[in-house]
Amino acid sequence: MADAKRMVRVFDTTLRDGEQSPGCSMNTAEKIEVAKRLEMLNVDIIEAGYPASSPGDLESVRIIAATIKQSAIAGLCRALEKDIDAAREALQKAASPRVHIFLATSPIHMEYKLKMTPEQVLERAVDAVKYAKKFCADVEFSAEDAFRSEPDFVCKVFSAVIAAGASTVNFPDTVGYAMPQEFGARVRYIISHTTGMEKALLSVHCHNDLGLAVANSLAAIEAGAGQAECTINGIGERAGNASLEEIVMALRVRKDYYNVDTRIESAQIYPASRLVSQVTGVKVQPNKAIVGENAFAHESGIHQHGVLANPATYEIMTPESVGISKKELVLGKHSGKHALSERLAELGFVIKGKALDEVFANFKALADSKKTVSDRDIEALVIGTAGAVPEKWKLDRWVINAGSSVPSISAIRLEAEDGGMREAVHFGNGCVDAAFSAINKLVGKEVALEMFELGAITGDTDAQGEAMVKISYEGGIWNGRGVSTNIIESAIKAYVAAINSMESESAQRSS
């Protein structure tokens, strides 16, 4: 009789490690929507943030902890009482709270970053776990830069923190240095040489500096690791983290090899990927495994013939298994709310009440401006509604005059939150410069544009244009997204959205 399939926990850190990577910031509303999507994905643990890092991060972790019921919610802490206190405050309303403590154990980190001896690190780790255990039953300890640490020292620290109450110990490859075979061997060594390991779960957290984060995570799981830490689309510090979708589908497609599975609802993978891409403004590369636009595309004539004869000739998983629907239902201006709701459910979006009313209103407006509304159009409407922040400024109207022989000039009118209208006219070096400069004049701030991307949601001539911007002001960076059948309008909407996100965060800090 074959052994029962082993279940590996999925610890998602998109909202912490992923969000703190350059250019991937999210506002609180966007974080909540991503957390809800992760819950639908059936992620075991959601690392919601680093509460001690800022009042804003603490508040977002607090809201997520109060909202999510099916997944455990983790808050990251240094091995300091003040950090653990911040996590305690943020996680008060969590149905299943987890305190995640980290402390470096490698010689280079201990000497140059911590300026602590190994004995001091061991004592600090144990004290931190004991302190957290006073109010939280579920405590995870991470040995930062564990792979470059002395193996026996890691075993010593893990043994001590497990005795102090840690229920999970994490073995990260913080700088993405390991090779899969040696990482798997190291995990086996840690499991077999850590006293009390049977009382805790071993986790791994791999970075992608050499492109091996997923391979190393899979090697660790094969070696006995019981939890994998990862992110949607593999976003994260530097070259990113291990990709959730790649780990999950590798285990599922090759269950004959690993005899291991996760609790992930794989049909929610693609919607989760799209949501994270939209709210962070970081696009998924076309050839990205599992969720890239070309992941299930077949251009070669030989490949096309094979797939038509039998999809298994070139597809080792179906698009539907990761949430990509092949039977696209095109809606139009005569489609009702029920038809839209049904299609939303098929696309993985559960939307009701006022939120559905708002999406339906936007859908009808879009349907009036283009002949048919595709799945991608609907997805863009939903994501645009989901991540909305309070609108201090709302675009009322705009006019752009431009040409090859005349300078660009814009007239932008915004509605302020008090209902008043403000209008500005500005010359610029092109349409976008003229429009954005006029908006800066209206809001009274010299906001800098850090990134601007423009693309089409579908391939039709009447496709919606999708603009992504990143702005900076006084050291902060904010994202904005705008969608319209007019590409200039989509750019203006994106810029205004980014400014609203900035203003909302500023208001939260001052309150």
pLDDT digits (tens, 9 = 90+) for 466-482: 898 999 999 888 888 88
pLDDT tens for residues 293-331?
A: 888 874 444 444 454 567 777 678 999 999 887 655 567
Local confidence band at 341 (pLDDT 50, 70, 90 cut-offs): confident
Is residue 209 situated within a structural domain?
A: yes
The answer to whether residue 380 is domain-embedded is: yes
Q: Are residues 337 and 413 in the same domain?
A: no
Are residues 11 and 114 both part of a single domain? Answer: yes
Write the DSSP symbol of residue 464.
P
Q: What is the domain range of residue 317?
A: 301-386
Q: Is residue 110 domain-resident?
A: yes
Contacts 24+ apart (CB under 8 A), 444-447: 445/473, 445/499, 446/473, 447/471, 447/472, 447/473, 447/498, 447/499, 447/502
Tokens read off for 374: 């595709």
Residue 288 lies in a domain: no
Asked whether residue 202 is domain-assigned, the answer is yes
More confident residue, 460 or 450: 450
CB 176 within 8 A of CB 214: no
Domain boundary among 364, 386, 408: 386
Contact 387, 399 (CB under 8 A): no
* 371 and 421 housed in the same domain: no
Whether residue 189 is found in the same domain as residue 241: yes
Q: Are residues 326 and 224 in the same domain?
A: no
Give phi and psi for 423, each to the nearest 5: -135, 145
pTM: 0.87
Asked if 366 and 414 sit in the same domain, the reply is no
Per-residue pLDDT for 440 more than 90? yes
SS3 104: strand
Residue 289 lies in a domain: no
Query: Do residues 168 and 317 share a domain?
Result: no
The domain that holds 197 is classified in CATH as: 3.20.20.70
- The reply to whether 266 and 407 lie within a common domain is no
Whole-number Å distance between alpha carbons of 427 and 424: 10
% of the chain exceeding 70 in pLDDT: 93
385 falls in which pLDDT band (50, 70, 90)? Answer: low
For residue 372, is pLDDT > 80? Answer: no
- Phi, psi at 49, each rounded to 5°: 160, -165
C-alpha 410/C-alpha 404 separation (Å) is 15
Residues 318, 275 share a domain: no
CA torsion through residues 368, 374, 378, 379, sign: negative
Considering the domain architecture, whether residues 42 and 93 belong to the same structural domain is answered as yes
- Tally of domains within the chain: 3
Which residue among 386, 415, 430 closes a domain?
386
Specify whether 226 is located in the same domain as 259. Answer: yes
Q: For strand 168-173 and strand 201-206, is the pairing parallel, antiparallel, or unpaired?
A: parallel
- Among residues 251, 280, 309, which one ends one of the domains? 280
The confidence score (pLDDT) of residue 22 equals 66
